[in-house]
Amino acid sequence: MRGRLFISIDDTDVVGGEGTGRLARRIARILDLDVLGITRHQLFIHPSIRYTKRNSCNVIMARSAESLDFDVFEAVKEIIVDRFQEGSDPGLAMAETVPESIVDFGLKTQREVLTKQDALNVAEEGNIRLEEIGGSGDGVIGALAGIGLCSSGSDGRYVMLKGLRELKGTVSAARLGEMGIDTVLLDEGGRLTEGSVAMADRIRPSRIDGKPVLFVVEKDGAYYPVVL
């Protein structure tokens, strides 16, 4: 079985520029990666931390790069450099095997103020490929955090999942299940296996136990996604 590749980017944008989530989707498309999903992970909000909007990082989950004939890390780096926005401080991390120390680091970034050197030290100890790509390079903190948080299996929300953006109107729970999405009726706590869910413009399933989970609520006999 092919392994899983985590590619994490952070601090690639400035106010009014292309957001990090959009850049992550662009990278996946340009490199034609076998993408399993792209997730967004929330980091600590604190006055001493510079961020553009919400202080979040984005992670591309893809099938192992072992069959590819190019260096994925260098290819992603080249795209970030080509689309560099003055005033941003990009960081890039990539890994297939993620030690617990990296997961712990990711969790810390959600409650503590950490430094670039903290990230570089932890990455070196965990043998994780991490690099600054312009500006102050402080984006390495969020980039490394994304690797840990995404690999934990129970953090973040999907900003891209194959076929999700094409869903319109109402979609059956069975169809969502075929896409790998577990739909959950929030107020009862059980899985929704029948009925349909009304799609919204921006469906963002949560990542729980390594799977996309779409929380829904019933209203007047219909099911609607819960905005978290």
Owning domain of residue 98: 4-158
What pLDDT sits at residue 131?
A: 97
What pLDDT sits at residue 75?
A: 95
**CATH number for position 39:** 3.30.70.2200
132 and 69, same domain (yes or no): yes
The answer to whether residue 50 is domain-embedded is: yes
28 and 81, same domain (yes or no): yes
The per-residue pLDDT string of the chain (228 residues; one tens digit each, 9 = 90 and over) reads: 357 899 999 988 777 778 888 999 999 999 988 899 999 999 998 887 777 777 899 999 998 766 666 899 999 999 999 988 898 899 999 999 999 999 999 999 999 999 999 999 999 999 999 999 988 999 999 999 999 999 999 999 999 998 888 888 899 999 998 888 988 877 677 888 888 899 877 788 999 999 999 999 888 878 998 876
The answer to whether residue 228 is domain-embedded is: no
149 and 171, same domain (yes or no): no
- Among residues 162, 177, 180, 228, the alpha carbon closest in space to that of 200 is found at 228
208 and 172, same domain (yes or no): yes
175 and 144, same domain (yes or no): no
98 and 178, same domain (yes or no): no
What pLDDT sits at residue 1?
A: 35
**pTM, entire model:** 0.91
Packing angle, helices 139-152 and 116-126, rounded to 10: 50
Q: How many CB atoms lie within 10 A of CB 52?
A: 18
219 and 138, same domain (yes or no): no
Packing angle, helices 116-126 and 100-108, rounded to 10: 160
Q: Which of 138, 158, 178 is the endpoint of a domain?
A: 158
Q: How far apart are CA 28 and CA 85, in angstroms?
A: 19
- Could you tell me if 142 and 42 are in contact, meaning their C-beta atoms sit under 8 angstroms apart? no
What pLDDT sits at residue 179?
A: 87
Number of domains comprising the chain:
2
What pLDDT sits at residue 190?
A: 83
115 and 212, same domain (yes or no): no
The answer to whether residue 135 is domain-embedded is: yes
What pLDDT sits at residue 65?
A: 65
What's the angle, vertex CA 194, arms to CA 193 and CA 196, rounded to 5? 115
